[in-house]
Every structure is written in structure tokens, then in C-alpha cells.
Amino acid sequence: MSLITYHESNDSYSIHPVVHKWARKRPGMSASEQAIWAHAAKLTLSHSILLPPLADTENDEIFRRDILSHIDHVRSCQSTIDLYIQKRRQSRFGGYLNWPAPGSTFGPSQAILYAKFSSVFAQNGRWNYAETLQLQVKEFADSVLGLDQPITRQIALALSSTYWNQGRGDEAADLQEIVLKACLTYLGPQSHETLITMETLGQTRWQQGRYTEAKGLQQKAVEGLIKLRNSKMHEDILSAMGHLGRTLAKFYEDLDEAKCLLEETCECMDAVLGPTHLKSMEIQEDLAMLTVQMGNKEDLPIALNKMRHILDCRKEKLGKEHPYTLLAMVSLSRVKIALREYDEAEDLIRSGLQIADRNLGEHHIGTLMGKTVLATILIHQSRFSEAEDILHTGIERQRGLSVYRGDFHPDRIGAMIELPSVLEFKGN
């Protein structure tokens, strides 16, 4: 059989599992030779991955999903080989002497490989793995290059995004403030990188519940980006507009403005990236949630269909247990609550929370938000004791959502607002 098979139908290459196993473990290959080939495999995978701002199409998203299993496999093989070599080294001295291994060879090529692999882990919701790799790249870039170089700032922002997705908003903001200060020093206030960093910090302020600061940063960033490019039809600008719309939805007097901005952004993002791109669906989801917030019953069926579509797309693109898939389940359940479909909403929330508790942890900001939504459903079902237990537990866990906000994070306040109505219905 051929070592590699080419498939004309989809312009791809594959290796038969039997041939693959023979090539990886053929008789006579020493552990050191296997290590060389495992490293070659990692380099080959790395060369197929492009770092931002390249490779941001929908096909690239699919590719980063499909390559994940290959990265997992080669990293597992490398770990097995390294462990075997270490044991062999120790056995030469009867196990009494742990002979030192060669010094670290971490350099530019290793940093690029780690950065590329971390981008795959990040898209697939494997943020713990992404963080481990990004921390090593950042440490290397800090020591060799410094913040005056764009590569160092980029990896710092990538790490801050990982913190953001883990619900660690304070750590994300600390990094982003450092990068923004460096951008202002080396590039000035009107550069594209400075404005993107400013908008990124605005997103984190939103997660921290600091909505006024978020609004100010995002408005300044959007205005600057549009002026810089003299157009709105760019994915960075449209993402910034969408995030601004989400922030405006936190201010009652800005709801109509938020709706107009999100509708415009949706239309433009669909034209630039396509309606099923991950960034496009993020804006669509925010618009659906604003529809629920505004309480226009005529628009709820549209929001329902949109959220069903987003959930199906994320299951296909990201997998059933990806955190953003779980977020779509929460958003769909909120639409169902507005439509008084409480039983279906509860089924969605409970199935999602089982996964969130296991994968994200009970203290993750997304898990806690999902439990508050579950409590809301239970209140509508007159199951007040269950709702009270969930709210009490959630309120205590939400105490540490943001060091800056302390006891007064908006998510915690929202849960506290629900609690008196429960107590009133119970007659307490």
C-alpha cells in the first residue's frame, strides 16, 4: 500500500491506520528515532496552521476543528516517547541517579509551534491546554523581545482572551492594560493595534460588570477604527460594533440604539464572513437576547428560530460539549422562557449544566449564569424551594466573580433580585 493516499474528491491526504501504525512503530526503530519522527509530525502539523489575522474564514474554522485530534495524538506519542527515554536513562544507573537531561531548547521555532497549537486548543474550548502553551510563549517573548515588538503583544492578548473565556476577567484586564499602555507608547492612540486592544479591554470590562467603562472604551475604539479604514466592512470593526451593541443593551435608555447597531452589524458580518461564521453567530445571538430583553412578543418566534439554528451550527462546528454550544443552549432556553415553554427550557438548561459542571467547574461565570436562568424557570413553575436553594448557592459563589466588583458584580445582583420574589411566594 502507498504510505500516503490522495483523495481527489475533497483534495485531501490520508494514511491507512495499519500503514500509520507500521510507519510509527516499525520493527527496529529506536526510541530516539521515534522521537525524531514525532517532532517531524508536530512540525508538519504546525506548518499547516496559520496565526491571526490570517486564516479567519469559515473553512479555516473547520480545519482547526478537524486537526485537533491529530495534535492530541502526536502530543500523546511524544509524551510516551519522552517518558520511555527518561526511564531508560535512569535504568543505566540502577535507578539511583537521575541523570540530567539536555538543557532546554525552547526557541523561536518552538514558540511558533506552541502558539499555533494553542490557537487550535482555544477555538475548540480547550482553554487549559491553550493557557499552558501561551504562558511559555509569552515568557519567551517577554525575555527575548519585549513589549515594543508586536509578537509579544499579540501573545499577551491571546493569553488574555484565554483568561476571559475561563471567566478570569481580572487577570485578562491586567494583561490588556499592560498591552494597551505599550501600544500607546510605541504606536500612538490612533493605530489599528491600539484601537483593537482598547476594544478588547472594553469586552473584559463588560465581563467584569464595569459597563460604563466598557461603553466608553468600545465607542472610542469603533469610532477610531471606522475613521482609520474609512469603512465599516471589516471583520475587526464589525466585531467591535457587535460588542458595543451588547454593552449598550445593559443600559435601558440605549436599547433602541443597541438594536439598530446589532441589526446593522449582523447584516454586514453576514456579507463579510458569511452567516454561519463563528463571529457572525456571536452577533446574531446577542441580537436574539436583546429581543428577549425588549419583550416584543411578535419578534420572539424569529429569535427562537435563530437560536435553534445557532445551536445546531455550533454543535456541528464545535461539538456538543463546547462552552459556546452550552451558551447557545442557555440562550435558546431564555427565548423559550419568554414564550412560556418552561419544561423545554428546563430540559435544555439541565442538560447543559451537567456538562458545564464537569468541564468548566461550578464557579465558572457561565455555569453560574446558567444556574440563575434555571432558578428563573423554577420560579415560573412555582417550584420555589428548589429555586431558593439554587439562588442561595449561586449568590455565594458569585461573590468572587471579580475582585474589582467584589460583592456587587451585576450577575450576583441579578440573582439577588430574583431571591426576594421567591421568598415572597413562599410566604417567608
Give the model confidence (pLDDT) of 205-220 as tens digits. Answer: 999 999 999 999 999 9
Determine the Cα–Cα distance for residues 59 and 64; give it in Å rounded to an integer. 9
Per the prediction, the chain carries an average pLDDT of 90
Q: Which amino acid is at 77?
A: C
Residue 276 contacts residue 286 (beta carbons within 8 Å): no
User: Residue 31: what pLDDT?
Assistant: 78
Question: Mean pLDDT, to the nearest integer, of 233-244?
Answer: 95
Summarised one tens digit per residue, pLDDT across range 65-88 is: 999 999 999 999 888 888 887 777
Determine the Cα–Cα distance for residues 185 and 242; give it in Å rounded to an integer. 28
Determine the Cα–Cα distance for residues 343 and 303; give it in Å rounded to an integer. 18
Residue of 243, 246, 318, 233 lying closest to 288 (CA atoms): 246
Q: What is the distance, to the nearest Å, from the Cα of residue 74 to the centroid of all Cα atoms in its chain?
A: 24
Q: The cell 467603562 sits on which residue?
A: 213
Band (pLDDT 50/70/90 cuts) for residue 89 is confident
Determine the Cα–Cα distance for residues 137 and 108; give it in Å rounded to an integer. 9
Written as nine digits, the cell of 275 is 452567516
Summarised one tens digit per residue, pLDDT across range 398-423 is: 887 776 666 678 888 888 888 887 87
Residue 240 contacts residue 282 (beta carbons within 8 Å): no
pTM: 0.88
User: Residue 427: what pLDDT?
Assistant: 66
Residue 303 contacts residue 334 (beta carbons within 8 Å): no
Q: The cell 454543535 sits on which residue?
A: 315
102 exposed, middle or buried (CB, 10 Å; 0-12, 13-18, 19+)?
exposed
Determine the Cα–Cα distance for residues 161 and 388; give it in Å rounded to an integer. 34
Residue of 3, 6, 41, 45 lying closest to 22 (CA atoms): 3
Band (pLDDT 50/70/90 cuts) for residue 28 is confident
Question: Mean pLDDT, to the nearest integer, of 187-204?
Answer: 97
Summarised one tens digit per residue, pLDDT across range 267-298 is: 999 999 999 999 999 999 999 999 999 988 99
Determine the Cα–Cα distance for residues 95 and 88; give it in Å rounded to an integer. 9
301 exposed, middle or buried (CB, 10 Å; 0-12, 13-18, 19+)?
exposed
Count of beta carbons in the 10 Å neighbourhood of residue 191: 15
User: Residue 106: what pLDDT?
Assistant: 81
Fold observed for domain 255-337: 1.25.40
Determine the Cα–Cα distance for residues 236 and 60; give it in Å rounded to an integer. 17
Q: The cell 499579540 sits on which residue?
A: 154
User: Residue 98: what pLDDT?
Assistant: 55
Least confident stretch, 23-32, 179-188, 381-390:
23-32
Query: Which of the pair, 152 or 14, is modelled with greater confidence?
Result: 152
DSSP structure class, residue 57: S
- Residues of the chain above pLDDT 70, percent: 94
Q: Which residues pair with 5 in a beta bridge?
A: 14
Whether the predicted pLDDT of 22 surpasses 80? no
Determine the Cα–Cα distance for residues 65 and 317; give it in Å rounded to an integer. 7
Summarised one tens digit per residue, pLDDT across range 312-368 is: 999 999 999 999 999 999 999 999 999 999 999 999 999 999 999 999 999 899 999
Residue 303 contacts residue 335 (beta carbons within 8 Å): yes
User: With the CA atoms of 326, 328, 329 and 333 taken in that order, what torsion angle do they form, in degrees rounded to the nearest 10?
Assistant: 140
Question: Mean pLDDT, to the nearest integer, of 228-234?
Answer: 91
User: Residue 194: what pLDDT?
Assistant: 97
The domain limits of the chain are 18-91+106-166, 180-247, 255-337, 361-428
Residue 123: its H or E element:
helix 108-123
Question: Which distant-in-sequence residues (6+ apart) come within 8 Å of 4 by Cβ?
Answer: 13, 14, 15
